[in-house]
Chain A
Amino acid sequence: MLRTEELTKTFRSEEVETIALSKVNLAVEEGEFVSVMGPSGCGKTTLLNILGLLDSPTQGKYWLNGIEVSRLSELKRTRIRRGNIGFVFQSFNLIEELSVYHNVELPLLYMGVSSGERKRRVNEVLDQVKISHRKKNFPRQLSGGQQQRVAIARAVVSRPKLILADEPTGNLDSVNGEEIMSLLTQLNNDGTTIVMVTHSSADADKAHRIIQLFDGHIITERIKKAMQIG
Chain B
Amino acid sequence: MRSICIPVKGISEGDIAEVEVRVLKSDLVWKYRLESFKLPNTGKSPSDTIKRIDSLRKLIKEYDQSWELIQILDTIEASEYVHILYRKKTKND
Give A residues with C-beta under 8 Å from B. 19, 22, 37-40, 174, 178, 200-202, 204, 212, 214-217, 219-220, 222
Q: In the assembly, what is the distance between CA of A202 and CA of B2, in Å?
A: 7
Partner of B1 from the list A37, A174, A214 (CB cut-off 8 Å) is A174
Interface residues of B in 21-52 (CB under 8 A from A): 46, 49, 52
CB-contact partner of A37 in B3, B60, B72, under 8 A: B72
- Which residue of chain A has its CB nearest to the CB of B48? A215
Of B3, B69, B72, B85, most buried by chain A (CB within 10 Å of CB) is: B72
Nearest chain B CB to A19's CB is how many angstroms away?
7
- Asked if A220 contacts B69 (CB within 8 A), the reply is yes
Interface size bracket, B side? 20 to 34
Report yes or no: B53 in contact with A215, Cβ–Cβ below 8 A. yes
Q: A174-B3, A178-B2, A220-B69 are in contact. Are A39 and B52 (CB under 8 A)?
A: no
Please report whether the interface of chain B is mostly helix, strand, loop or mixed according to DSSP: mixed
B46 smallest CB distance to A (angstroms): 7
Let me know if B73 and A219 touch, CB within 8 A: no
Q: Which residues of chain A have C-beta atoms less than 8 A from B69's C-beta?
A: 212, 220, 222
Give me the interface of B with A, judged by CB distance under 8 Å. Answer: 1-3, 46, 49, 52-53, 56-57, 60, 68-75, 82, 85
Chain B residue contacts of A37, Cβ below 8 A? 71-72
Residues in B whose Cβ lies below 8 Å from that of A39:
72-75
> In the complex, which of the residues B53, B57, B71 contacts A201, with contact meaning CB atoms closer than 8 Å?
B71
What CA separation (Å) do A133 and B2 show in the bound complex?
28
| Contacting residues, chain A, for B82 (C-beta < 8 A) | 214
Taken together as a complex, chains A and B put the C-alpha atoms of A215 and B45 apart, in Å, by 12
* Among candidates B1, B49, B56, B75, residue contacting A219 with C-beta atoms closer than 8 Å: B56
A214 touches B85 (CB 8 A): no
* Chain A residues within 8 Å of B74, by CB: 39-40
Pairwise interchain contact B85-A201, C-beta atoms closer than 8 A: yes
Specify which of A174, A214, A216, A217 lies most central, judged by the most chain B CB atoms within 10 Å of its CB: A214
What residues of chain B lie closer than 8 Å to A201, measured between beta carbons? Answer: 70-71, 85
B53: which A residues are within 8 A, CB to CB? 214-215, 217, 219
A160: min CB distance to chain B, Å: 28
